[in-house]
Structure 1
Amino acid sequence: MPAAYDADAIAALADQPVSWRDKALPPAFWGRTVAEVLADKPRLSQLPTPVMTLSAPGLRHNVDTLARWSAHHGLDLAPHGKTTMAPALWAMQLDAGSWAITLANVFQLGVARAYGVRRVLIANAVISPLQLRWIADELARDPEFEVLCWADSVRTVEIMEAARSAYVGPDARRLDVLVEIGGLDGRTGARDAETAVAVGEAIAAASTLRLAGVAGYEGAVGHGVDEAGLAGVRAYLSEFAGIHHRLKSLYDADITPVVSAGGSQYFELVAEVLGPLGADGARVVLRSGAYITHDDGLYRRVSPLGENPRTDGERLVSAMHAWVRITSQPEPGLAIFDAGKRDLPFDQDMPEPQLIRPRSDGEPVLPATGMTVTKLNDQHGFLHFTDVPVVIGDELRVGLSHPCTAFDKWGLIPVVDDPDAADPVVVDLVRTFF
């Protein structure tokens, strides 16, 4: 069953007032609630630049597309909520059938608990005694709350067990822990099968922990989407499946073990290699996060449902854009716009110029051909142009790359009805918590 959440808490986000803290909205909207702002059906032209927007039809398409794809391939979906840190978007994903929400740390778990998310996978080890005590309190307070975290060493298990056994009684609910499997030159995770099995044995032997399955992140060991890169990910996932089989005798009889992998780059290989474990009693859980908005850069290139699809199903579409304004033309062929590193992601690709909004009523939207963003400062962007001239005051839509470093720059994000329109209508405002 999909994880439950507090629908009333989500709905109450519309009652929050907007203010000067919300850089996406103009002073004319300050002091009004989100619901009051939306009731007037504001348009993009009423918002300041720079501003990042989400596409309502794009979000809907992407959420439904991966939900259908996962169900078709026999996988459960636990989207990585750290991508957006937006409870309203988590609710959208849960309503579409997601089994859980994945998060990266206990701070993020606190946000999830504030909005009543009942099943959370923490894709990390939790070894802080203070955090382990808080999780124990939450498990005791809410019998329907489920949380699973990771461990990649016996030492990690020992720290968790020591902290919990000094705090909880013998009748306390055990904490579910997944053995994290890594790969050479990867991130965290046990580097070999013997270490992984030893971690599983330590979890199974602990009095306050329960061995709940295995997990890992194939994106940390993947090296591209050419045949060699895909073969390396397959090999990693095959080892992953083998470790799960070696641990089967340690699982409690009443547990459905979780086998979890899958970012937004190789989820078709998770279905191919790990999907068959579902027929053998495991719950295979995909944790993709960036798919909800997709993008116009990294994920457009590498997603299995991107511009070069590697699996069945509809293609994902970019559902996030930014709008910037030309403020200076100091040299021929060079324009400066009003957004920089504090507004736009830049760790994977520079923003991609896509269109110029009409300069006056009745004029058409123009394609931003021959334009390239070459550099970002803190608050300025550098646009070089050849084919279509720009003038000071022009407003451009740019495509963005890497959702995980886009959402964290905006505390309130307008959602528009049609990002291709001359003056889109704002149909929602999404609150993030970073």
Structure 2
Amino acid sequence: MTHFTSDTAPTTASAWKDGHKGTRETGRDLLTDVSLPAAVIQEAPLAHNLAWMQAFAERHGAKLAPHGKTTMTPALFRRQLEAGAWGITLATLPQCRAAFAEGATRLLLANQLIGRANMAIAVALIRAGAELYVTVDGHDNVAELGEVFDEAGLTLPVLIEVGVAGGRCGCRDDGQIAALARDIAARPGLTLAGLEGYEGVVHGDDPAARIRAYGERLVENLHRLADEGLFGVASPIVTASGSAWYDLIAETFRDGGLEGRFTPVLRPGCYVVHDHGLYREAQRGVLARRPDLHEGLRPALTVYAQVQSLPEPGLAIVALGKRDIGGDRLPEPLVRYREGGRVEAPLSVAGWDVTRQMDQHTFVALPEDAKDVKVGDVIAFGASHPCLTFDKWRLIHLVDDGLTVIDTWETYF
């Protein structure tokens, strides 16, 4: 979001163009000086989440490679790496390129590397010093990758993706896994570096039991391929885990006899800012299964917006829409302030009910006792599934407990 004070307003077209790239807003009061709507991360819960998940992984003997596609915010990648993350997971080659350009050197592509243009990016990244891992699940892909990287004089570390029936990518049975591993081992341009999976595609009755079984399948195949001598690295990787069932995967890896022989890697992404919807519910499940964890993750991401109109009794229209906040669930009003007010003087949103959204408007049904609502009031909204909020913003504001902007971070979607 661009904000110009009277003494900094641009006076030429070129200045407006430059200003449109976004100001940093550092030191400004969110309730007074920042153009809204704005996506906001609170520093205290962010710092808590970074430390909490890193400690969780380490207690379970695992490395952490957070999924960067959640945020595509290099400043957050740096915070995660500084907290001890082993690497950064990405979903596409352009995402890998963006992360590497901002200092992330160990990259895990949790997808198949397909297409010659994408392979060219991968070759360039490795030549520039990136440690890049990719996934494979078929012989045709393995053959093409082997040819490209052999011709380039490089060796590409690959992870076999282990899938499930009805899921998305991945080998469906253990025989396919073994055959593909032998194929990889025979190609000079490739080296088998481990196994990859994603438990979020496991569904059915008793999902916890099914996910444990899936984790055990990963571990069993890892041992089987190691016993056959098919891995080309000293400490083969086994990796899975989103932000909902990470506890079950971590426990399965911890109990799988991996210590000293293999490198277990967890890849949650949404944990870094958590949410007020899908992952808040998932976290309740984690804490119910693991009461020893005590407090879990804290929501850190909100979108601040203002009441735009009070067109009829019991209805507020807020200048916030589907273009501003994730829409897999309607946003949740959390707290309200007067524009220019103080963080120590919050106003009630009790009984406020978001009923629908349009591109730039949110409809809020107000309770009968909501008599103090004014146009310009600032409301903080919680989102569900942070991936779908981050990708709507080019700038994200980091704020302290007093809602003063500490920093403004760019996203790279």
TM-score under structure 1 normalisation? 0.85
* Deviation larger for 302-311 or 257-266: 302-311
- 2:12 counterpart residue number: none
Distance 2:323 2:162 in 1: 35
Distance 1:253 1:408 in 2: 37
Distance 1:160 1:212 in 2: 14
SS in 1 for 2:32: helix
- 1:272 counterpart residue number: 251
SS in 2 for 1:328: strand
SS in 2 for 1:179: strand
For 1:380, the aligned partner's letter is H
Kindly indicate whether the alpha-carbon contact (under 8 Å) linking 2:193 and 2:233 is maintained by their aligned counterparts in 1.
Answer: no
Does structure 1 residue 320 correspond to structure 2 residue 332?
A: no
Which residues of 2 match residues 352-431 of structure 1 at below 5 A?
A: 352-358=332-338, 361=341, 364-386=345-367, 387-389=369-371, 390-418=373-401, 421=402, 424-431=403-410
Deviation at 1:357, TM superposition (A): 0.5
Q: Deviations over 1:243-279 (max 9, x none)?
A: 2122112334652100000100011111111223432
Does structure 1 residue 133 correspond to structure 2 residue 101?
A: no
Q: Deviations over 1:80-122 (max 9, x none)?
A: 0111111111010001110000000100011012113211000
Q: Residues 383 and 246 (structure 1 numbering): CA distance in 2 closer, same or farther, change over 3 Å? A: same
Kindly indicate whether the alpha-carbon contact (under 8 Å) linking 2:70 and 2:269 is maintained by their aligned counterparts in 1.
Answer: yes
Distance 1:323 1:219 in 2: 30
For 2:90, the aligned partner's letter is L
Kindly indicate whether the alpha-carbon contact (under 8 Å) linking 1:120 and 1:146 is maintained by their aligned counterparts in 2.
Answer: yes
Distance 1:359 1:41 in 2: 14
Distance 2:378 2:318 in 1: 9
Kindly indicate whether the alpha-carbon contact (under 8 Å) linking 1:83 and 1:407 is maintained by their aligned counterparts in 2.
Answer: yes
SS in 2 for 1:409: coil
- 1:6 counterpart residue number: none
SS in 1 for 2:168: coil
For 1:404, the aligned partner's letter is C
For 2:185, the aligned partner's letter is A
Kindly indicate whether the alpha-carbon contact (under 8 Å) linking 1:44 and 1:426 is maintained by their aligned counterparts in 2.
Answer: no
For 1:95, the aligned partner's letter is E
Deviation at 1:392, TM superposition (A): 2.4
Deviation at 1:426, TM superposition (A): 0.6
Quick one: percent identity of the two aligned structures?
Answer: 36
Does structure 1 residue 255 correspond to structure 2 residue 234?
A: yes
- 1:228 counterpart residue number: 206
Q: Residues 370 and 315 (structure 1 numbering): CA distance in 2 closer, same or farther, change over 3 Å? A: same
Q: Residues 254 and 124 (structure 1 numbering): CA distance in 2 closer, same or farther, change over 3 Å? A: closer
SS in 2 for 1:27: coil
Which residues of 2 match residues 88-103 of structure 1 at below 5 A?
A: 88-103=75-90
- 1:12 counterpart residue number: none
Kindly indicate whether the alpha-carbon contact (under 8 Å) linking 1:305 and 1:315 is maintained by their aligned counterparts in 2.
Answer: no
TM-score under structure 2 normalisation? 0.90
Q: Residues 311 and 246 (structure 1 numbering): CA distance in 2 closer, same or farther, change over 3 Å? A: farther
Kindly indicate whether the alpha-carbon contact (under 8 Å) linking 1:77 and 1:100 is maintained by their aligned counterparts in 2.
Answer: yes
Does structure 1 residue 146 correspond to structure 2 residue 131?
A: yes
Which residues of 2 match residues 180-199 of structure 1 at below 5 A?
A: 180-199=161-180
Kindly indicate whether the alpha-carbon contact (under 8 Å) linking 2:305 and 2:378 is maintained by their aligned counterparts in 1.
Answer: yes
- 2:15 counterpart residue number: none
Does structure 1 residue 106 correspond to structure 2 residue 93?
A: yes
Kindly indicate whether the alpha-carbon contact (under 8 Å) linking 1:305 and 1:316 is maintained by their aligned counterparts in 2.
Answer: no
Kindly indicate whether the alpha-carbon contact (under 8 Å) linking 1:63 and 1:96 is maintained by their aligned counterparts in 2.
Answer: yes
Deviation at 1:331, TM superposition (A): 3.2
Distance 1:103 1:37 in 2: 29
Distance 2:44 2:332 in 1: 21
- 2:35 counterpart residue number: 48
Q: Residues 36 and 232 (structure 1 numbering): CA distance in 2 closer, same or farther, change over 3 Å? A: closer
Deviation at 1:307, TM superposition (A): 7.0
Supply the RMSD in Å over aligned alpha carbons.
Answer: 2.3
Unaligned runs of 5+ in 2: 10-17
Distance 1:183 1:297 in 2: 27
Q: Deviations over 1:373-408 (max 9, x none)?
A: 121111111111215343322221111111111111
Deviation at 1:131, TM superposition (A): 2.2
SS in 2 for 1:367: coil
Distance 2:108 2:134 in 1: 6
Q: Residues 280 and 160 (structure 1 numbering): CA distance in 2 closer, same or farther, change over 3 Å? A: same
SS in 2 for 1:186: coil
Does structure 1 residue 164 correspond to structure 2 residue 156?
A: no
Unaligned runs of 5+ in 1: 1-22
* Deviation larger for 185-194 or 210-219: 185-194
Which residues of 2 match residues 302-317 of structure 1 at below 5 A?
A: 302-303=282-283, 310=290, 312-313=292-293, 314-317=295-298
Does structure 1 residue 239 correspond to structure 2 residue 221?
A: no
Aligned with 1:68 (options 55, 58, 66)? 55
SS in 2 for 1:180: strand
- 1:4 counterpart residue number: none
Kindly indicate whether the alpha-carbon contact (under 8 Å) linking 1:267 and 1:304 is maintained by their aligned counterparts in 2.
Answer: no
For 2:249, the aligned partner's letter is V
SS in 2 for 1:110: helix
Q: Deviations over 1:345-374 (max 9, x none)?
A: 012x11101111036657821231101112
Q: Residues 175 and 164 (structure 1 numbering): CA distance in 2 closer, same or farther, change over 3 Å? A: same
Kindly indicate whether the alpha-carbon contact (under 8 Å) linking 1:301 and 1:307 is maintained by their aligned counterparts in 2.
Answer: no
For 1:149, the aligned partner's letter is V
